[in-house]
Amino acid sequence: MERGNSKHGPRVDDAMAQEIRGTTQGVAGGRAEEWHEAEPPGEDQPEPTTVPAGDNRSGTPQGMTSEDVEQRSRLGRYINLTALPGDRATLRRSAEDNEAPADVLDEIDQLPAGRTFQTVSEVWAELGHANETTRW
């Protein structure tokens, strides 16, 4: 292939193409070269983890535990944004449409009838759970 302008020659082009062949062509082991692997920890270093243990994980808002965050998020997964603002019946219908498990439906059934909820956080608070004390 003839090119009009190049900063290096055909030999360097071939070498560069060989280096990335596994990535561009999907050849097995394309990223298995040793220089792509993370270096293992030293003898006196701990093994790396993806999530720190305990409730001191970053991203947990003040006033809530990481378990509270997970449970509120789980509740919110079954309530569509189109259902908000909505009352108990609207929230229940949305959760049923999203195939919510029985325990989530039972919690929604505990909400007072006739009250309109603007957010999942309001629903969560009405169920007697703690929300974050400061948002940002």
pLDDT in tens, 52-71: 555 455 567 777 887 888 88
| Percentage with pLDDT > 90 across the chain | 35
What pLDDT sits at residue 2?
60
In the predicted structure, residue 32 carries a pLDDT above the cut 60 = no
What pLDDT sits at residue 77?
92
How sure is the predictor about 50, in pLDDT bands with cuts at 50, 70 and 90? low
In the predicted structure, residue 24 carries a pLDDT above the cut 80 = no
Q: Are 120 and 72 in contact (CB under 8 A)?
A: yes
Calculate the CA 116 to chain-centre distance: 29
What pLDDT sits at residue 6?
61
Indicate the pTM of the whole model. 0.55
What pLDDT sits at residue 46?
73
What DSSP character marks residue 117? B
Q: How many CB atoms lie within 10 A of CB 34?
A: 6
